[in-house]
């Protein structure tokens, strides 16, 4: 083999090292879906290879290639930093939204009209107030539908909402919350639905489904779900009615149903009770469940709780359920019982960004549930990526008692203090 002069050899080594670095960098920075498993493994192995024992790129004898002296220690630190970056990339790939998530790939529609109590205040505002109110009015949200909309009107009401929210685009996702049970909340603990109320409920649900039709929809079914367990005499009648709605909506071609199961603080630390609510209500027929509709629990706590509920459902023979979390009101998450003010449903809003145990807007609606921006950490991000379909806004903390009417000062304070 012909001998290579020292100067030429050094230049050749420089070139080969630079070319190797370029290949490894390209592999490390390429989007995960574009790498085959073999290439991904090769890139990892390349990153683990020790440095060459030959001359470094800055000339012979500088110590980088041999790992000796201070320069060798600097190279070791660089390798450690590269490993940390590779680990983060692997975690990010693992935390990417699951491909079977039915909400992915559909832009979220924004309803713009009188059916949203925040819309008129936004339209009629100006300046700084308008910018703040846009954080509520222009965000995708779930409109609540209940018995206040008559049986004969619900089909048209839903169809109008769908048309407004989608703007005629059939790919747009519509969000709705169905709160139709009568009686419900504390009254549900005192009496059962009458035969007439049961018939009205089923008719209303059928008409609601007709209004949704083929639209892409995410439906949160019966917020404050734990009230189903307080029915007189342990009756399952309320749960059976919710199950009727769940089954009816799940039969629609593009509708994904999430039955309300309370929140991490209700039933507190009791995933088995939450699972019981869901099993009775027909969770085996639908995509999954919803958490935090009227509470303020931190996202991290609801992810941890929801993951346990998923495991409990699987133990009961209903595997693969997913869930959504309401993030409209938990920018500074706290338990419902800790709420300050005249009533926990109307807990005090944050007045400054630094205040805690107060209500402010949380993570904006998204299917990017494991984004590092949310500060969840590796373990919770992985759990969210596996089990959470989306963070949605199906709570209404800007309304008095989360019901009605719209409270301007409350809305402005939340928009002003949100960390997002």
CB 285 within 8 A of CB 318: no
What is residue 84's predicted lDDT score, i.e. its pLDDT? 58
Strand order in the sheet with 288-291: 143-146, 173-179, 216-221, 255-260, 288-291, 322-326, 388-392
Tokens linked to 313? 């459902």
Secondary structure element (H or E) that encloses residue 282, with its range? none
Q: Indicate yes or no: pTM above 0.85.
A: no
Query: Strands, DSSP E only, in 330-378?
Result: none
What is residue 402's predicted lDDT score, i.e. its pLDDT? 97
- The position carrying tokens 């960004």 is 353
Q: What are the per-10-residue average pLDDT scores of the chain (420 residues)? A: 47 46 41 38 37 34 35 52 48 50 98 97 98 98 98 98 98 98 97 98 98 98 98 98 98 98 97 98 98 98 98 98 98 96 96 97 98 97 98 98 97 97
What is residue 40's predicted lDDT score, i.e. its pLDDT? 43
What is residue 70's predicted lDDT score, i.e. its pLDDT? 39
Between the alpha carbon of residue 378 and those of residues 89, 95, 266, the distances in Å are 11, 9, 26
- The position carrying tokens 């991490």 is 264
Tokens linked to 333? 């998450």
The answer for residues whose C-beta is within 8 angstroms of residue 47's C-beta and 6 or more apart is 24, 28, 79, 82, 83, 86
Query: Strands, DSSP E only, in 110-211?
Result: 143-146, 173-179
- CA–CA distance, 193 with 232 (Å, rounded to integer): 11
The answer for residues whose C-beta is within 8 angstroms of residue 283's C-beta and 6 or more apart is 246, 259, 289, 313, 318, 321
- CA–CA distance, 342 with 194 (Å, rounded to integer): 33
- CA–CA distance, 226 with 221 (Å, rounded to integer): 12
């Amino acid at each position: 083999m012909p001998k290579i002069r020292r100067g030429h050899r050094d230049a050749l080594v420089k070139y080969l090292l630079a070319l190797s670095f370029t290949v490894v960098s390209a592999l490390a920075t390429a989007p995960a879906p574009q790498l085959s498993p073999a290439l991904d493994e090769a890139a990892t192995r390349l990153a683990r290879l020790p440095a060459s024992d030959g001359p470094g790129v800055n000339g012979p004898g500088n110590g980088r290639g041999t790992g000796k002296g201070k320069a060798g220690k600097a190279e070791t630190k660089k390798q450690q930093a590269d490993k940390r970056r590779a680990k983060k990339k692997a975690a990010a790939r693992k935390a990417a939204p699951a491909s079977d998530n039915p909400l992915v790939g559909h832009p979220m529609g924004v309803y713009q009209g009188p059916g949203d109590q925040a819309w008129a205040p936004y339209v009629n505002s100006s300046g700084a107030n308008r910018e703040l109110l846009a954080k509520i009015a222009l965000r995708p949200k779930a409109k609540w539908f209940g018995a206040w909309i008559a049986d004969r009107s619900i089909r048209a009401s839903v169809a109008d909402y769908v048309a407004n929210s989608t703007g005629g685009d059939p790919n747009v996702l519509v969000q709705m919350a169905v709160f139709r049970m009568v009686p419900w909340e504390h009254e549900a603990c005192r009496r059962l639905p009458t035969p007439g109320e049961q018939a009205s409920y089923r008719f209303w649900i059928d008409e609601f489904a007709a209004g949704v039709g083929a639209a892409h929809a995410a439906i949160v079914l019966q917020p404050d779900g734990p009230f189903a367990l307080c029915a007189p005499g342990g009756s399952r009648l309320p749960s059976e009615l919710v199950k009727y709605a769940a089954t009816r909506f799940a039969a629609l071609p593009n509708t994904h149903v999430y039955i309300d199961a309370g929140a991490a603080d209700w039933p507190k630390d009791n995933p088995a009770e939450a699972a019981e609510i869901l099993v009775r209500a027909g969770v085996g027929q639908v995509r999954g469940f919803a958490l935090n509709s009227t509470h303020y629990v931190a996202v991290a706590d609801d992810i941890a709780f929801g993951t346990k509920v998923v495991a409990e459902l699987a133990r009961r023979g209903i595997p693969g359920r997913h869930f959504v979390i309401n993030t409209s009101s938990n920018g500074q998450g706290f338990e419902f019982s800790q709420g300050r003010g005249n009533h926990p449903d109307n807990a005090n809003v944050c007045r400054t960004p630094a205040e805690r145990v107060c209500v402010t807007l949380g993570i904006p609606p998204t299917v990017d549930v494991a984004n590092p921006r949310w500060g969840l950490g590796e373990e919770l991000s992985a759990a969210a990526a596996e089990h959470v379909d989306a963070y949605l806004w199906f709570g209404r903390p800007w309304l008095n008692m989360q019901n009605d009417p719209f409270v301007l000062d409350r809305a402005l304070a939340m928009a002003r203090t949100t960390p997002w």
